[in-house]
């Protein structure tokens, strides 16, 4: 049975507009957002200036019929307009739906129809994609630039200029209940279509307060946001945590290895979130001079090579869209288990179990499960999908992450691997089932299995094993073409391997573990089949 909030939960009587309004009152002249585009003009917003712009954009949205409960899709790359729109939706009691800008027309059409979007805020370069979905909307608002750069496409037709929204009359914030819907992020899972993870206002406040607390952030901290704001890492770990602490967020359009250190040094950043791809890219750049960084947030603590090359400690952590913020985090004060993610954060219960749902011994790998108050510490549910919501929790209210981890006697927990049907491509999660859904539509395909292959830059990339109905040399190209048309580029298999059989385990289930092991090896033999395996 899931844990539900009491009448006097952590954020009773509070919401996202409450947090922004209080910070604007407490530190009106302190810089909240600093915009550092690769092209165009840099700009800053103090807490008061940002709150005022949010109220005006909320007025512009309200003038066009947006009100409590409406779903507004934000299909934007990193830019100030993204953040202003997200908070403006909260201001009105509307629900901000953030979508991946690398989505195809097919994927975006699904997002728009599934969440029942009434409007979209986008940028010139993505307008054609939005219009190509054919989904009926009240309006589409378009920014004046592409993340600061002059647009190559000038919006026309029925589009609303974002500048019109900016110059509307401000409106007062709606007094949304803390447990009312606030925002949605679509995330890959083990299903054929992404699920919409629904956050309440209390969820957003929990992410803000918890992140600021466990990372030890204060008003003098400055962080650099270059990971996509449509993901939890940048939106919650970076932005919301900083908002609660009263610090400053430096926003860049995306990660740039050549710009990272100059920006960190020039803006006085004290910490940044990071991913393995970013660190690998930075190793080829000149070593930095004097800077103010205290730590890098990462999935593992005290990574030796980062300490050796950059002289910085890494803070291990673990979280996901469904947990709002970090559930595990390592210490900045006391010794950590090197390479571990850390220990459980207050407000979450954590268990590591075997296939029989029994606790594993210290030092043994098992499945990570998490329990917390739904709608506060854990997401409210999957949008328009009660069945998926119920199946994500066991009878005792534990949320199953699908990740394999190892607990240690010192309390720290190490990440081992994602579940067999999840891949991590750079900073993106990819559902094998979603890719297999598309492959199944390709004529000539009898069966497929998508697994992760090691990659030196992206950590993992998808590879598809396919059984064909009959011999067809063009089949691999046809699979890649179909995936390229229907899926974002990072989901497209880098290789398609046609096989006569696939290895199986109990009840005929495909043995993806054997396929992954073969991809990671020398590939001196054909992929393993049931007959070729010594231990079926």
In the prediction, which pLDDT does 510 show?
Answer: 82
CA separation for the pair 329, 326 (Å, rounded):
7
pLDDT of residue 191: 64
Q: Nearest 5°: CA angle at 185, between 329 and 192?
A: 105
Q: Looking at residue 288, what is its pLDDT? A: 87
Token pair in block for residue 216: 């030890």
Residue 386 CA to residue 400 CA, distance in Å, equals: 16
Output the pLDDT for position 508.
62
DSSP codes joined into one string, 467-510: EESS--TTHHHHHHHHHHHHS-GGGS-SEEEE-S---B-GGG-B
Beta strands in 267-307 (DSSP E): 271-273, 295-298
- The DSSP element (H or E) to which 35 belongs, if any, is strand 31-35
Alpha helix (H) ranges present in 133-256? 162-166, 201-214, 232, 241-245
- Where is 238: in which H helix or E strand? none
Instruction: Report the 10 Å Cβ neighbour count for 39.
Output: 11
Distance of alpha carbon 449 from the chain centroid: 25
Helix (H) or strand (E) holding 122: strand 119-122
Return the SS3 of 298: strand
Domains assigned to the chain: 16-293 (3.40.50.12780), 422-520 (3.30.300.30)
Whole-angstrom Cα distance, residue 225 to residue 235? 9
pLDDT at 214: 97
3-state secondary structure at position 142? strand
Query: What tokens were used for 441?
Result: 């539509």
**How far lies 63's CA from each of 156, 171, 216, 377, in Å?**
20, 10, 41, 34
* pLDDT tens track, the chain, 536 positions: 789 999 999 999 999 999 999 999 999 999 999 999 999 999 999 999 999 999 999 999 999 999 999 999 999 999 999 999 999 999 999 999 999 999 999 999 999 999 999 999 999 999 999 999 999 999 999 999 999 999 977 666 679 999 999 999 999 999 999 999 999 999 876 667 899 999 999 999 999 999 999 999 999 999 999 999 999 999 999 999 999 999 999 999 999 999 999 999 999 999 999 988 888 889 889 888 899 999 999 989 998 888 888 999 999 999 999 999 999 999 999 999 999 999 999 999 999 999 899 999 999 989 999 999 999 999 999 999 999 999 999 999 999 998 888 999 999 999 887 765 778 888 788 888 789 889 988 998 988 999 999 888 888 899 999 999 888 889 999 999 999 999 999 999 999 999 988 888 655 678 888 888 888 888 766 666 533 332 32
CA-closest candidate to residue 77, choices 202, 206, 229, 300: 229
In this prediction, residue 182 carries a pLDDT of 98
Find the helix or strand (DSSP H, E) in which 457 lies: none
The total of other beta-carbon atoms located within 10 Å of residue 157's CB is 7
Closest CA to 361 of 294, 306, 407, 422: 407
C-alpha 259, offset from chain centre: 23
DSSP at 172? P
């Amino acid at each position: 049975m899931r844990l539900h909030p009491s009448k006097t939960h952590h954020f009773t009587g509070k919401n996202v507009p409450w947090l922004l309004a209080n910070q604007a009152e407490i530190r009106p002249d302190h810089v909240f957002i600093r915009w550092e585009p690769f092209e165009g003009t840099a700009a800053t917003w103090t807490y008061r200036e940002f709150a005022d712009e949010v109220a005006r954009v909320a007025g512009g949205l309200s003038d066009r019929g947006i009100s409590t409960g409406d779903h507004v899709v934000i299909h934007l790359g990193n830019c100030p307009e993204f953040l202003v729109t997200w908070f403006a939706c909260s201001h009105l009691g509307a629900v901000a739906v953030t979508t991946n800008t690398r989505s195809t027309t097919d994927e975006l059409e699904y997002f728009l129809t599934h969440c029942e979007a009434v409007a979209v805020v986008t940028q010139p370069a993505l307008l054609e994609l939005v219009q190509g979905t054919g989904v009926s909307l009240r309006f589409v608002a378009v920014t004046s630039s592409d993340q600061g750069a002059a647009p190559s496409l000038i919006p026309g037709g029925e589009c609303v200029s974002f500048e019109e929204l900016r110059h509307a009359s401000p409106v007062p914030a709606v007094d949304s209940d803390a447990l009312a819907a606030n925002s949605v992020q679509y995330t890959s899972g083990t299903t054929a279509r992404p699920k919409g993870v629904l956050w309440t206002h209390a969820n957003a406040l929990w992410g803000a307060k918890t992140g600021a607390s466990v990372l030890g952030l204060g008003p003098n901290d400055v962080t650099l946001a270059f990971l996509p704001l449509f993901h939890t890492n940048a939106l919650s770990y970076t932005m919301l945590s900083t908002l609660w602490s009263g610090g400053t967020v430096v926003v860049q359009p995306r990660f740039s290895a050549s710009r990272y250190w100059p920006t960190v040094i020039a803006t006085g950043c004290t910490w940044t979130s990071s991913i393995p791809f970013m660190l690998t890219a930075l190793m080829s750049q000149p070593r930095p001079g004097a800077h103010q960084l205290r730590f890098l947030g990462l999935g593992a603590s005290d990574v030796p090579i980062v300490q050796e090359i950059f002289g910085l400690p890494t803070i291990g952590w673990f979280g996901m869209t469904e947990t709002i913020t970090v559930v595990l985090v390592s210490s900045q004060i006391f010794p950590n288990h090197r390479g571990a993610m850390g220990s459980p954060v207050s407000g979450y219960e954590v268990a590591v179990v075997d296939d029989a749902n029994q606790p594993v011994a210290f030092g043994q790998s098992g499945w990570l499960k998490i329990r917390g108050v739904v709608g506060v510490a854990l997401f409210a549910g999957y949008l328009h999908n009660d069945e998926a919501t119920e199946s994500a929790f066991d009878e005792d209210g534990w949320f199953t992450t699908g990740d394999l981890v190892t607990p240690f006697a010192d309390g720290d927990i190490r990440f081992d691997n994602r579940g067999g049907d999840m891949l991590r491509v750079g900073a993106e999660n990819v559902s094998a089932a979603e890719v297999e859904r598309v492959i199944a539509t390709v004529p000539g395909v009898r069966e497929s299995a998508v697994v992760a292959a090691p990659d030196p830059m992206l950590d993992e990339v998808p590879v598809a094993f396919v059984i064909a109905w009959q011999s067809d040399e063009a089949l691999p190209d046809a699979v890649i073409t179909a995936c390229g048309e229907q899926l974002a580029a990072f989901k497209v298999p880098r290789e398609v391997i046609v096989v006569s059989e696939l290895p199986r385990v109990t009840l005929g289930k495909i043995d993806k573990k054997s396929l992954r092991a073969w991809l990671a090896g020398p590939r001196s033999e054909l992929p393993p089949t049931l007959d070729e395996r010594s231990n079926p």
